[in-house]
Amino acid sequence: MSAPVSVTVPAALRPQVEGQETVSAPGATVGEVLCGLREQYPAFGEKLFPNGGEQINRSINIYVNEEDIRFLDNFGTPVTDKDQVDIILAIAGG
Amino acid sequence: MTATDTQAIETQATDTPEDLSRYHRQMLLPGFGEAGQRKLLGATALVVGCGALGTVIANMLARAGVGHLVIVDRDFIEMTNLQRQVLFDEDDVANAIPKAEAARAKIAKINSQVNVSAVVDDVNHTNIEWLAGVRPDGSDAADSPAGRKVDIIVDGVDNFETRYLANDCAVKHGIPYVYGGAVGTVGASYPILPHTAAPGTTGETPWEREGKATPCLRCIFEQAPPPGLNPTCDTAGVIGPAVSIVANFEVLETLKILTGNLDAVSPTMLNLDLWGNTVRQFKVARAYDISDCRCCHRRDFEFLDGKFASGTTTLCGRNAVQITQKLGDGQKLDFAEITKRLEQHGSVNGSRFMLRTDIVDNGEPYELTLFTDGRAIIKGTQKPAVAKSIYAKYVGA
């Protein structure tokens, strides 16, 4: 079993993860880690993948070491516990 | 209301811009000098929204000597704005001055070398091009407050619909656009030097000729967050430094762009969490290459075309306005989350089909009724701009 990978949660989605700034789940790819998080926090999973689908919410981006996973290998992007994974939601206020 | 019905209140510069001594300290900077200062004085910036971000932006751009500011905002000043909206004071609240007009009056005292056009109006797909000084065909709109195509659009708005509208206008007409957003203790900013030609070809703008065009906002965030996903400053709160830092970052990028220092423009999206003590710079430059963006690749300006425009209907005889919101496929509002936020303001009742709550905003009582498809009825006003403002503040968009 791979070591848990920690993921930063945007402030707007922290109510769905008991207020935590970061959450973690084991996995060798971004997809596996997000799947694990979806199981641990179903309400959070619903925000990431609306209507129980496989398509990520299109106002959310996932970054690994500050690089968008769309430029890497998307959900297949390999990760370890040394990587910084961020979930970024478009910030609307002002 | 059509664009030309809107009247701008103008301040004409009374001082001669021949005397540049007040800009001495910034002219000392490398890449600035007198030439940079002259470029600023000759430039016109559209500041969209004049709240927390917009007041800091307008204040700093005026002090820096950007020659003409077009400031547009639909709201009036409230006491709860003064904690962070730096151009306003208690007299403005007492006298019920619109934000854009109060900003114009303050700036006239700050820098008499700057022209300011204050426009008190909602920004929407029918008027944003005119506000940016262009006609839909790209020619200068001589009857607009700017009189010609503006040199930059700076983001001081509180909702994503207007941001995508500004982004569409910027990409369509080749106008740099600086995005900024802040809520709670977090914020983000990113400067856009738009692509104006189809992928694989090069447009005529200076930044495209120099190979410095950047992805647009829709390359990065393909879709706006649905209403209610993001908290708003009126439901989640906001601290002054969050908006001030983001706004000043926008000002910084604006000064680089207007003085022609394109090499210095940030290639990354800044993300701050001031309570979590994190400052991150996300790499977004490749988003253009992989995105197949509707806006800058396919030149399909859906927001400018009004496809996603929130509609308003004044409900006759009911002192109410209905707002319809076009959500993305399969999206619906998260009532549980929105209820929690609205409860900060008063009791919320309803069912899984609708929510109802009373809100007192700027001393005026309103009743907000919200449906899962994003539709809302706002009782207590017949003015669409007031209703849209209440929606943006308490539901979010």
Q: What is the pLDDT of residue B327?
A: 74
Q: What is the pLDDT of residue B329?
A: 64
What CA–CA distance (Å, rounded) separates B365 from B295? Answer: 40
| Closest CA–CA distance from residue A90 to any residue of chain B (Å) | 7
Contacts of A8 (CB under 8 A, 6+ apart): A21, A22, A84, A85, A86, A87, B278
A&B contacts, CB < 8 Å:
123
- Average pLDDT of B314-333? 78
Q: Between chains, do B283 and A53 touch, taking CB under 8 Å as contact?
A: no
pLDDT above 70: residue B17: no
Q: Between chains, do B224 and A10 touch, taking CB under 8 Å as contact?
A: no
ipTM confidence: 0.91
Q: Find the distance separating the first CA and the last CA of chain B, reported in whole Å.
A: 22
Among B76-85, B159-168, B170-179, B324-333, the least confident range:
B324-333
Which of A8, A51, A93 is facing B182, going by the closest CB pair? A93
* In CATH, A4-89 is 3.10.20.30: yes
pLDDT above 80: residue B65: yes
Q: How confident is the model at residue B262 (pLDDT cuts 50, 70, 90)?
A: very high
Q: What is the pLDDT of residue B4?
A: 46
pLDDT above 60: residue B5: no
In Å, how far are A21, A37, A41, A80, B223 from A3, measured between CA atoms? 19, 14, 19, 7, 33
Q: Per-residue pLDDT tens for B117-170?
A: 999 998 999 999 999 999 999 999 999 999 999 999 999 998 888 999 999 999
Q: Collapse the DSSP code of A69 into the 3-class scheme (helix H, G, I; strand E, B; otherwise coil) and give the result.
A: helix
Q: What does pTM read for this prediction?
A: 0.88
Q: Per-residue pLDDT tens for B325-383?
A: 777 666 788 888 889 888 888 889 888 778 899 999 888 899 999 988 888 989 999 88
Q: Between chains, do B160 and A63 touch, taking CB under 8 Å as contact?
A: no
| B177-183 and B376-379 beta bridge pairing | unpaired
Q: How confident is the model at residue A14 (pLDDT cuts 50, 70, 90)?
A: very high
Q: Report the interhelical angle of B52-64 vs B99-110 (nearest 10°).
A: 30
Q: What is the pLDDT of residue B2?
A: 42
Q: Per-residue pLDDT tens for B202-261?
A: 899 999 999 999 999 999 999 888 777 878 888 888 999 999 999 999 999 999 999 999
Q: What is the pLDDT of residue B1?
A: 38
Mean pLDDT of chain B: 91
* Chain A positions in Cβ-Cβ contact with residue B276 (cut-off 8 Å): 21
Contacts of B240 (CB under 8 A, 6+ apart): B52, B83, B84
Contact yes or no for B194/B176 (Cβ under 8 A): yes
AA identity, residue B58? A
Which residues of B are designated catalytic? 233
What CA–CA distance (Å, rounded) separates B296 from A8? Answer: 30
| Closest CA–CA distance from residue B123 to any residue of chain A (Å) | 15
Q: What is the pLDDT of residue A62?
A: 96
Q: Per-residue pLDDT tens for A57-85?
A: 988 999 999 999 999 999 999 999 999 99
Q: What is the pLDDT of residue B173?
A: 98
* Chain B positions in Cβ-Cβ contact with residue A8 (cut-off 8 Å): 278
pLDDT above 70: residue B16: no
In Å, how far are A23, A74, A85 from A79, measured between CA atoms? 15, 11, 8
Q: Residues, chain A, total?
A: 94
**Given CB atoms, is B225 within the 8 Å cutoff of chain A?**
yes
* Chain A positions in Cβ-Cβ contact with residue B396 (cut-off 8 Å): 92-93
**Given CB atoms, is B304 within the 8 Å cutoff of chain A?**
no
What CA–CA distance (Å, rounded) separates B78 from B88? Answer: 9
CATH superfamily of B3-291: NAD(P)-binding Rossmann-like Domain (3.40.50.720)
Domains of chain B: which residue ranges?
A: 3-291, 311-394
- Average pLDDT of B56-70? 98
